[in-house]
Amino acid sequence: MKKIAILSTLLVTSMAFAVAPKDTLVIQRSADIPTMDPGVTYDTASAEVVDQMYETLLTYSGSSLTKLEPLLATKWAISNGGKTYTFDLRKNVKFHSGATMTCADAEYTFERNLVTNSAESGNWFIAESLTGVQGNANDEKSVTWAVIDKAVECNNAGQLVFNLPKVDPAFLAKLAYTGQAIIEKKYTTGLGEWSGTEKDWKEWVGKDLTGSNLSKKPNGTGPYEFVRADANTFLATAFDGYWGKKPAIKNVISQKVPELAARQQAFLRGDADFIDGGGRSVDEAQIKGKPGVTWIDNLPNTTATAIFMNEKINPSGGLLGSGKLDGKGIPSNFFTDVNVRRGFSYAFNYQQYIEDVQKGKGKQRTMLLPDIFPGYDPKVKTYTYAPAKATAALKKAFGGQVWKNGFTLTANYRANSVPAQTAMEILKRNIEALNPKFKVILQPKQWSEMLAASKKGEEAMMLMGWAPDYADPDNFMYTFYASDGYYSPRANWKDASVDKWLKQARSTVNTAQRNRLYSLVGNRAYEQAPFILIPGGIDYTFFRSNIKGITAQNYNPMISTRWADLSKS
């Protein structure tokens, strides 16, 4: 008994020392940190730490998605009809290595991103602005050293100058992206990375920088500097030489804890300040309202999701059945008839999806664009669940053949995705209820397989979403609606007016004009119904109540929470 008492005392005593100190922020995440090299950062887990150690030229101002403010730049000027951007860089900014940031560092950063531009990175969209094409020198003949060298330069006044081949209204927003954070030339080349010259540029084209030497030894200008990382832990500490306001929290530890129950227990005990939750239903039941927990709800969500109705279904996918309108299949052009698309749009129960999947926290959108994005027009009409209208539309489709003969539509959904499965099941049930001759067969399919098949146009109908890289409507609108947009092979919807408006919106920096063009696209898309718009989710966040600095007012979904803005009581 005595031994047990001694052991218990020892255990409890040492436990008392284990509580996280006030000067340390503790984060527990489910995923690891794939890279700490900004040049290849293209996922939220990496961005969270890169955002604290590195800085971009400019960033979003508060919660605004339209207003950008200087960070490593102090001001900028746009000239040459919107094709030249000249940046004044902040003076006396130190890297964690101790070196002072110069224009050469910024020039090297962007050139490195253009040279490597690997498939794993998000550099394709900055490449599009600066070289005119999305690919690297291996993919595109037009990308030469001369093109890259000219795209970004330092002038005699030490200013950073970008020379764009054509106007890009989204260029500034693209610069706010984590992947464009400034790195130190001398330090990086010293690690054995690209020299920054023409001599070895070819060797670095398309190179995956995920495990680069810079990723192992990061060095930025941000408020936190890297201390150490091992299999499950990342450590950072406040950088003494930081040019801005000194962070209130000295140390930060981000731990990888894959098991949700373990994270929840640590959070509820106060051993972790932030954790990855388990989705709204789990978190509302197990975290919300518990002592010491702050819960902020009704935050903007920036993902847009739709059910695609493919107008040119590739028969090689084997989803057409008989391939005819005989009740046993569908023809390849089934969705070309606008009445079919409208009928399906009226048959989706939007409110039920909000209740079943989003636990009542969802919002129907008018366009495939997050509602807080510039260019979003709330006045565009939306479809509602209306079986009578769906019936009327489908009776008109294919001159009455669809209604008379019925159809068997086979659609895939992403395996293990409950929201995708639920959405498709809602649609199936409602469509089949309209006419006993209508049959929808749903099948689960691996995501990678769906991506490949849909790119070949083989998926008849499927649910897919898009999350933004930068806060510009073009990132969504062109992706979904343009006939040469990224998603076009999946939907095969082509509308000459929409293509014209989207191109016009790309070539002007006049915000009012762009907004008008996007409204036109939204209205046209409502009429033509190429997609069934899935309601947008409403985000939430939670953290320990002794953490200060996060409010609904300063929450910006485009950037990670800055640890430097937080304090702990």
Partner 1 sequence: MLNFIVRRLIQIPVVMLVLSLMVVGLTQMLTPEQRAAPYIRSEQQAARLEQIIEERGLRDPFPVQYSRWFVKTISGDLGFSKASGKDVLDTIRERLPATIELTIITAIPILLLSIWLGTLSALHKDKLIDQVLRVMTIIAYSLPTFVLGILMLAIFYAYLGWLPGAGQLSIVNQFAIGDLRRYTGMLSVDAMLNGRWDIAWDVIRHMLLPAATLTIVSSASIIKVMRNNMLEALTSDYVRTARAKGLSPRIVNNKHARRNALLSIVTLGGFLIIGLLGGSLITETIFAFPGIGQWVVQAALQIDLAAVLGFALLSALIVVVVSTLVDILYGVIDPRVRFD
**Which residues, 119 to 178, sit near partner 1 by CB under 8 A?**
119-120, 122, 124, 135, 139
Q: Which is nearer to partner 1, 139 or 539 (CB)?
A: 139
d(CA 466, CA 475) in angstroms, rounded, equals 9
Q: Name beta bridge partners: 305.
A: 465, 534
| 285 contacts partner 1 (rule: CB under 8 A) | no
Instruction: Reduce the DSSP state of residue 564 to 3 states and report it.
Output: helix
Q: Which is nearer to partner 1, 10 or 418 (CB)?
A: 10
| 263 contacts partner 1 (rule: CB under 8 A) | yes
Q: Which is nearer to partner 1, 108 or 201 (CB)?
A: 201
Contacts of 422 (CB under 8 A, 6+ apart): 353, 356, 357
Strands (E) across 4-119 are located at 24-29, 58-60, 68-70, 73-79, 84-89
The residue count for binding partner 1 (CB under 8 A) is 67
Which residue is associated with the tokens 């030894």? 217
Q: Which is nearer to partner 1, 335 or 466 (CB)?
A: 466
Q: From residue 561, give the alpha-carbon distance in Å to each of 39, 51, 270.
A: 20, 9, 19
Instruction: Tell me which of 241, 278, 465, 489 binds partner 1, using CB under 8 A.
Output: 465
Contacts of 52 (CB under 8 A, 6+ apart): 222, 223, 224, 236, 252, 560, 562, 563, 564
| 34 contacts partner 1 (rule: CB under 8 A) | yes
Instruction: Tell me which of 105, 337, 458, 469 binds partner 1, using CB under 8 A.
Output: 469
| 6 contacts partner 1 (rule: CB under 8 A) | no
Give the distance from CA 104 to its chain's centroid: 30
| 552 contacts partner 1 (rule: CB under 8 A) | no
Instruction: Reduce the DSSP state of residue 274 to 3 states and report it.
Output: strand
| 12 contacts partner 1 (rule: CB under 8 A) | yes
Tell the smallest beta-carbon distance from residue 352 to partner 1 (Å).
25
Tell the smallest beta-carbon distance from residue 120 to partner 1 (Å).
6
Contacts of 421 (CB under 8 A, 6+ apart): 413, 414, 442, 444
Tell the smallest beta-carbon distance from residue 487 to partner 1 (Å).
9
Instruction: Tell me which of 77, 261, 433, 552 binds partner 1, using CB under 8 A.
Output: 261
* Binding window for partner 1 (CB under 8 A); candidates: 267-275, 323-331, 403-411, 553-561: 267-275
Residues 298-337, one symbol each (x = binds partner 1 by CB under 8 A, - = not), give ----------------------------------------
Contacts of 529 (CB under 8 A, 6+ apart): 309, 338, 341, 342, 344, 345, 383
Q: Which is nearer to partner 1, 33 or 248 (CB)?
A: 33
User: How far apart, in Å, do the first and last CA atoms of the chain sit?
Assistant: 40
d(CA 159, CA 73) in angstroms, rounded, equals 10
Tell the smallest beta-carbon distance from residue 11 to partner 1 (Å).
5
What DSSP string describes 149-200?
HHHEEE-TTS-EEEE-SS--TTHHHHHTSGGG----HHHHHHTTS--SSGGG
Q: Which one, of 347, 368, 509, 341, lies nearest residue 423 by Cα?
A: 347
Q: Which is nearer to partner 1, 73 or 229 (CB)?
A: 229
* Binding window for partner 1 (CB under 8 A); candidates: 77-85, 96-104, 112-120, 147-155: 112-120
Instruction: Tell me which of 1, 4, 17, 379 binds partner 1, using CB under 8 A.
Output: 17
The structure tokens listed for 62 are 């508060």
**Which residues, 201 to 260, sit near partner 1 by CB under 8 A?**
206, 208, 210-211, 215, 227-228, 230-233, 235, 237, 251, 253, 255-259
Q: Which one, of 209, 159, 188, lies nearest residue 57 by Cα?
A: 159
Phi, psi of 206 (to 5 degrees): 75, 5
Structural contact between residues 535 and 362, judged by C-beta atoms closer than 8 angstroms: yes
Structural contact between residues 393 and 342, judged by C-beta atoms closer than 8 angstroms: yes
Instruction: Tell me which of 14, 156, 553, 569 binds partner 1, using CB under 8 A.
Output: 14
Instruction: Tell me which of 316, 322, 416, 446 binds partner 1, using CB under 8 A.
Output: 446
Instruction: Reduce the DSSP state of residue 10 to 3 states and report it.
Output: helix
Tell the smallest beta-carbon distance from residue 138 to partner 1 (Å).
8
The structure tokens listed for 154 are 């330092």
Tell the smallest beta-carbon distance from residue 477 to partner 1 (Å).
15
Instruction: Tell me which of 486, 489, 494, 515 binds partner 1, using CB under 8 A.
Output: 486
Instruction: Tell me which of 1, 4, 15, 388 binds partner 1, using CB under 8 A.
Output: 15
Instruction: Tell me which of 1, 4, 5, 18 binds partner 1, using CB under 8 A.
Output: 18
* Binding window for partner 1 (CB under 8 A); candidates: 64-72, 311-319, 390-398, 458-466: 458-466
Residue 356, sorted as left (phi over 0), alpha (psi -120 to 50) or beta, turns out to be alpha
Structural contact between residues 457 and 319, judged by C-beta atoms closer than 8 angstroms: no
Using CB under 8 A, list all residues that contact partner 1. 8, 11-12, 14-15, 17-21, 24, 26, 28, 32-35, 42-43, 118-120, 122, 124, 135, 139, 206, 208, 210-211, 215, 227-228, 230-233, 235, 237, 251, 253, 255-259, 261-263, 265-266, 268-269, 271, 446-449, 451-452, 455, 464-467, 469, 486
